[in-house]
Amino acid sequence: MINIELIQKTAESLMAKAAIEIPDDYLTGLQKAANDEDGDLSSFVLEAMLENYVAAKEDRRAMCGDTGCPRWYVKMGNEAQIDGGPIALEAALRRATANATKSVPLRPNRVHPLWRTDHDNNVGIGAPEIEYGFEPDGNWIDLVTVHKGGLFGTDYRMLFPSDGIEGIKRFYLDSLVAFGKRGLACQPAIIGIGLGGSKDSCMVLGKRAACLRMVGDRNPDPKIAALEDEFKELGNNIGMGAMGFVGKSMVIDCNIEVGYCHTGGMQMSVHAFCLSSRRAVARIYDDGRVEFRTDPAWFTDYQRRETVEW
């Protein structure tokens, strides 16, 4: 049985870690981009960002004043049991989100869409989002928090088989160029692309591709992996860098996830995980052990349903 107080305490420290400590994989990617960048203003921006990550850790303050939307991905081993069940788990994650908003502090971003009611704690109707996945075996639970920024940088489009790769590329470039101007997407970003599924699952796939995969990893399908490389290159050759200044740092990495779709369609979504690519992960075992990491390790063969029979 996994202790519910331990879940809440761990969730609170994850909120702080995500807000303050830039994950190593993104940091390494940005350092590389900063070395390669030759646009004078873009270079200045990237250097300032690198200083900013250091300042955040030294002062233990949030790296970005905009908390974005904190959300949770929960993955459970098939044998895991939670003290109080999933209802207690959700309450613990909501409490942790509210408490951390005050203690870090984070910006209370979440308001009612119409009445703009603000509880000043990032909790409300459907907020934070809590999504679930399961894994065969295992008596642990993985808590992943992502603080996803960016009102800009995300788009969805229903393409068709006849749009082909040329159409996919067009929509990809359109998204980067449109939201990259003036740096609205806070690039360079981890770009996640969802292909197929249905409209909602396509958005979910793309967001997870941006937020739950590591910089440098590749889709297990070698042809999709090659597309990821090609798209990263393409994005960095637009001629645009940080803040939309002349430069070549748009994309720290491009991750693509796919799902089977309707035979007549080819849904596509594009998501940008910004300069504050905030994610933090912990695995809690039923014997009370807690292991922190930054790799969500979300996309296993099981999550892609590669290993599930029919």
Partner 1 sequence: MVKDNKPRKIRLSANPTAEALADLRIGDIVYLDGTVYTAREGVYKRVLEDGIAMPMDLPADSAANFHCSPAATQHDDGSFDLGAVTATASFRFSKWIGPWLAASGAKLIIGKGGMSSKDYREHFVPHGAIYLTTVGYGTGALLGRGVKQVSNLHWKKELGLAQAMWVLDVENFGPFIVESDLDGNSLFERENARISASLDKVYEGTRPAVLKRFGETDDRSDEMI
Binding positions for ligand SF4, rule: CB under 6 A: 64, 66, 68, 149-150, 186, 274-276
Q: In what order do the strands lie in the sheet with 155-159?
A: 155-159, 266-273, 189-196, 251-259
Kindly tell me which of 3 and 109 has the beta carbon lying closer to partner 1. Answer: 109
Burial per residue of 93-103, b for 16 or more beta-carbon CB atoms within 10 angstroms, e otherwise: bbebbbbbbee
Q: Select the residue whose beta carbon is closest to ligand SF4 and give its number.
A: 149
Q: What SS3 state is found at 254? A: strand
Closest distance to partner 1 from the beta carbon of 268 (Å): 10
Kindly tell me which of 166 and 287 has the beta carbon lying closer to partner 1. Answer: 166
Among partner 1, ligand SF4, none, what binds residue 68 when CB lies within 5 to 8 Å by partner kind? ligand SF4
Closest distance to ligand SF4 from the beta carbon of 139 (Å): 35
Radius of gyration of the chain (CA): 19
Closest distance to ligand SF4 from the beta carbon of 20 (Å): 13
**Amino acid (one-letter) located at 292:** F
Kindly tell me which of 66 and 163 has the beta carbon lying closer to ligand SF4. Answer: 66
Helices (H), the chain: 4-20, 24-36, 40-59, 85-103, 164-180, 199-211, 222-236
β-bridge mates for residue 175, sequence order? none
State the residues that interact with partner 1 by CB under 8 A: 35-38, 40-41, 43-45, 48-49, 51-53, 55-56, 59, 61-67, 102, 104-109, 111, 116, 118, 120, 149, 151-152, 157-160, 162-163, 166-167, 169-171, 173, 177, 181-184, 186, 234, 237-240, 242-246, 274-276
Closest distance to partner 1 from the beta carbon of 263 (Å): 15
Find the farthest-apart pair of alpha carbons in the chain and give their distance in angstroms, rounded: 56
Closest distance to ligand SF4 from the beta carbon of 215 (Å): 16
β-bridge mates for residue 147, sequence order? 70, 278
Distance, in Å, from the CA atom of 81 to the CA atom of 235, rounded to the nearest integer, reads 44
Kindly tell me which of 149 and 296 has the beta carbon lying closer to ligand SF4. Answer: 149
